[in-house]
Structure formats: C-alpha cells, structure tokens
Amino acid sequence: MDRPLEKKKWNSKRIMTIVGIAGIVGLIGASFYFTSGKSKLNVEADRISIVEIKMVTFRNSFQSMVQCFQSAASISMLL
C-alpha cells in the first residue's frame, strides 16, 4: 500500500503571495505617512508679490484690430 504524502504548509507560492501583499500594504502606508501633515514650500519672502485685483471693463483686442484695419482700408480707398 502507498502512504499518503504530507503536504507542506508553507510553499513558495503562499510565501510570495504574503510578501507581495505585505509590500503593497507597506507602500500604501508609507505614502500616507510621508504625505500627511503640513506641506511646505520654501520660497524667499522678497520673491512673493501681492497685487490687488480691480474690476475694469474688458477691451477686446481683436475688435480694436479690426477697426484699425477698417479705418486703414477706408483711407487707402480715398487715396
């Protein structure tokens, strides 16, 4: 009669699966750890400018350019 073979509890597939899952969890945990907290941007104070914004009427430069060409064309027609 044949004897039944004992199965290994820790085969290489199981070990690699556990290592892969632990690696992914480790990367996610590290990304949360390193991105948490206050973010800082080191900028020299004299390079920062603060300007007040005012509401003004919008001048469409395309319309101004067309009017300029129209007036130039009418002058050239008179000559």
Q: Does residue 9 or residue 39 have the better pLDDT?
A: 9
Q: Which helix (H) or strand (E) holds 65?
A: helix 61-78
Is residue 68 predicted with pLDDT exceeding 70? no
Q: Where are the domains of the chain?
A: 10-36
pLDDT in tens, 11-53: 899 999 999 999 999 999 999 998 887 777 888 888 888 888 7
Q: Taking the CA of residue 52 as centre, how many other CA atoms within 13 Å lie in the half-sphere pointing to its CB?
A: 3
Q: What is the pLDDT of residue 74?
A: 60
Q: What is the distance between the alpha carbons of residues 25 and 19, in angstroms, rounded to a whole number?
A: 10
Q: What is the distance between the alpha carbons of residues 40 and 6, in angstroms, rounded to a whole number?
A: 58
Q: Does residue 78 or residue 18 have the better pLDDT?
A: 18
pLDDT in tens, 51-65: 887 877 766 666 666
Q: Taking the CA of residue 41 as centre, how many other CA atoms within 13 Å lie in the half-sphere pointing to its CB?
A: 4
Residue with tokens 């430069």: 61
